[in-house]
Amino acid sequence: MDEISPADSGGGGRVSSGKEQQAAGVGILLQIMMLVLSFVLGHVLRRKKIYIIPEASASLLIGLIVGILANISDTENSIRAWFNFHEEFFFLFLLPPIIFQSGFSLAPKPFFSNFGAIVTFAIFGTFVSSIVTGVLVYLGGLIYLMYRLPLVECLMFGALISATDPVTVLSIFQELGTDVNLYALVFGESVLNDAMAISLYRTMSMVKADPSGQNLFMVVIRFLETFFGSMSAGVGVGFTSALLFKYAGLDIDNLQNLESCLFVLFPYFSYMLAEGLGLSGIVSILFTGIVMKHYSYSNLSQSSQRFASAFFELISSLAETFVFIYMGFDIAMEQHSWSHVGFIFFSIIFIGIARAANVFSCAYLVNLVRPSNRKIPRKHQKALWYSGLRGAMAFALALQSVHDLPEGHGQTILTATTAIVVLTVLLIGGSTGTMLEALDVVGGDSHSDSPLASVGTITNYEENNGYVAPSYEEESSSGSKIKMKLKEFHRSATSFTALDKNYLTPFFTSQNGDEEDEVLPLASSSSEFHDNNHYSS
């Protein structure tokens, strides 16, 4: 980013300072104008039901157009500099609210009722996707299909590009009335997938920085340390906040401002705590969001609940829109390694292959332990594969790679990632509506025709407060050791939901679970999940 030179002394310094202030004002004004234009254009597109240009695509195109105009204009460097921002601003102020909101906006009932499947896709699936992408990129370099990178750097690229961000797809899912279980899987996977991708990237980055004495065992230890350490920090902060709001008595009229202020501060406390411990603040704030929504939120007064929901949705929406504007602006303003077009082209192909390996292998494993009336159908698997857009998280890690990788390798990865994000948002995001209609997974009756529909399942869901206890009578005679291990994992996921319902929720909250979804005005899909749940893990 261009630096603004310090002011000169004397009268010249005052003139220079005045110009810098003017440049700052113009730059910030233009950024605000782009945000306003993005929101207005997004509203018009949504109102006119023009799905071929999603809101994220509109924001990206606005940034691209303004960047091109700024690049070819005779605007002073100081004004152009104010269009840009430091990476610290991105990581400390833009990314945390986006990630926190992704965890905070989870509807607990459908998330936990599909917990086993979501964890399978997000943890095992992301690992498969990262390794397949990294290995294919490395092999592509060996046979001169694309720009060659060392194996560890290929694995770093595989990890960061495996972070999905299907916000565009999910908004279209809601508009078209897609099957609620498909929505749960796509949304739940994208939330936990970020944590897995970050942990894998940081692990590979540590291996790159200190390759001496590294072996597979130490790599696994480093990964577990990053992932579970960050998760523990986030969960710990979330539980602490739940107990504070349960017992501090802040939900009375004259203390509700204090209650709201404390609730807003806890996520950033979690983020900074993890960073201070050398862990991942992003992973920590993600799990803080999940825990605070599930436990702390119900301990708030109703006015504070409304404020918290509106506040976090507001700042995450502003941040995410600004990120897409910046990505478009960055394409026009920065010097990218566009000479490596082959790297971009083949990376897109390899990512599609890796996504297929992720989705179809995980769906096969999940279906092994599900009764026949609750298996994930093939058309939902295809929709899952198609929903693997890349967004803010992949771009953030690619920005980090510029500092982590030498000799221009990080810049090559940033260029490829930016191109992949742009192409997936524009092409996949714009064609999502057509894809959903072609797969016949949209409309209010889409679920009624599904083989997953089961009156017994819905009744079980209602009676158990959204926590489905699956039956294991079918196919229980199988002698497959793999299948039995999967069933054990499946039972453990179900046991966790029972533990949560019977012990954790009563201990950490002052309200029962049924009241949670009723007071959340922004989780529009919550009631849909409650009424239409068909399959669960």
pLDDT digits (tens, 9 = 90+) for 364-373: 999 988 888 7
Query: How many residues are present in the chain?
Result: 537
Nearest to 295 by CA among 255, 249, 236: 236
For position 263, what pLDDT does the model report?
Answer: 95
d(CA 120, CA 358): 10
- Spell out the residues 6+ positions from residue 358 whose beta carbon is closer than 8 angstroms to its own: 121, 125, 126, 128, 129, 132, 162
Termini Cα distance of the chain: 48
- Statement: residue 33 has pLDDT above 50: yes
Query: What is the b/e burial string over 184-206, where b = at least 16 CB atoms within 10 angstroms of the residue's CB?
Result: bbbbbbbbbbbbbbbbbbbbbbb
Q: Please identify which residue in the block is written with the tokens 């609750």.
A: 374
d(CA 266, CA 96): 12
Distances (CA, A) of 58 to 35, 52, 174, 421: 11, 10, 19, 14
d(CA 509, CA 533): 25
Dihedral (CA of 365, 368, 374, 378) sign: positive
- Statement: residue 37 has pLDDT above 90: yes
Beta-bridge partner residues of 164:
390
For position 520, what pLDDT does the model report?
Answer: 39
- Statement: residue 522 has pLDDT above 50: no
For position 228, what pLDDT does the model report?
Answer: 93
For position 308, what pLDDT does the model report?
Answer: 93
Nearest to 433 by CA among 390, 391, 386: 386
Got the DSSP string for 283-313? Answer: HHHHHHHHHIIIIIGGGS-HHHHHHHHHHHH
Q: Are 370 and 474 in contact (CB under 8 A)?
A: no
What does the pLDDT look like over 115-143, one tens digit per residue?
A: 889 999 999 999 999 999 999 999 999 99
Q: Residue 125 gets which letter from DSSP?
A: I
- Spell out the residues 6+ positions from residue 479 whose beta carbon is closer than 8 angstroms to its own: none
Q: At 490, is the pLDDT very low, low, confident or very high (cuts 50, 70, 90)?
A: low
d(CA 448, CA 531): 12
For position 154, what pLDDT does the model report?
Answer: 96
For position 316, what pLDDT does the model report?
Answer: 93
For position 13, what pLDDT does the model report?
Answer: 57
Q: Which amino acid is at 223?
A: F
- Residue 425's SS3 state is helix
For position 390, what pLDDT does the model report?
Answer: 87
Q: Residue 373 gets which letter from DSSP?
A: G
d(CA 60, CA 390): 13
d(CA 397, CA 1): 18
- Statement: residue 184 has pLDDT above 90: no
Structure token digits, residue 218? 């130490």
- Statement: residue 353 has pLDDT above 90: yes
What does the pLDDT look like over 468-489, one tens digit per residue?
A: 434 444 444 444 666 666 566 5
Distances (CA, A) of 97 to 73, 90, 169, 517: 34, 11, 20, 21
Structure token digits, residue 143? 């046979």
d(CA 476, CA 484): 9
What does the pLDDT look like over 209-227, one tens digit per residue?
A: 877 666 778 888 888 888 9
For position 159, what pLDDT does the model report?
Answer: 95
Neighbouring CB atoms inside 10 A of 211's CB total: 10
Query: What is the b/e burial string over 50-77, where b = at least 16 CB atoms within 10 angstroms of the residue's CB?
Result: ebebbbbbbbbbbbbebbeebeeeeeee
For position 84, what pLDDT does the model report?
Answer: 61
Q: Out of 60-69, 80-89, 90-99, 271-280, which region has the weakest mean confidence (pLDDT)?
A: 80-89
What does the pLDDT look like over 389-436, one tens digit per residue?
A: 888 889 889 988 988 887 788 889 998 998 899 888 888 888 888 888
Q: What is the arithmetic mean of pLDDT over 17-28?
A: 76
For position 15, what pLDDT does the model report?
Answer: 58
Q: What percent of the chain has pLDDT over 70?
A: 77
More confident residue, 522 or 381: 381
d(CA 18, CA 140): 53
Structure token digits, residue 228? 């579970």
Q: Please identify which residue in the block is written with the tokens 């291996």.
A: 207
Beta-bridge partner residues of 390:
164
- Statement: residue 170 has pLDDT above 90: no
For position 5, what pLDDT does the model report?
Answer: 45
d(CA 82, CA 475): 63
Q: What percent of the chain has pLDDT over 90?
A: 31
Q: What is the arithmetic mean of pLDDT over 70-94?
A: 69
Nearest to 384 by CA among 328, 450, 428: 428
Q: Please identify which residue in the block is written with the tokens 């221009």.
A: 408
Q: Please identify which residue in the block is written with the tokens 């158990």.
A: 464
What does the pLDDT look like over 493-514, one tens digit per residue?
A: 566 677 777 888 888 888 654 4
Backbone region of residue 520 per phi and psi (left: phi > 0; alpha: psi in -120 to 50; beta: other values): beta
Nearest to 101 by CA among 299, 302, 386, 393: 393
Q: Out of 9-13, 443-447, 517-521, which region has the weakest mean confidence (pLDDT)?
A: 517-521
For position 389, what pLDDT does the model report?
Answer: 85
The mean pLDDT of the chain is 79
- Statement: residue 518 has pLDDT above 50: no
What does the pLDDT look like over 280-330, one tens digit per residue?
A: 898 999 999 999 998 999 899 889 999 999 999 999 999 999 988 888 887
For position 114, what pLDDT does the model report?
Answer: 81
d(CA 169, CA 263): 30
For position 474, what pLDDT does the model report?
Answer: 42
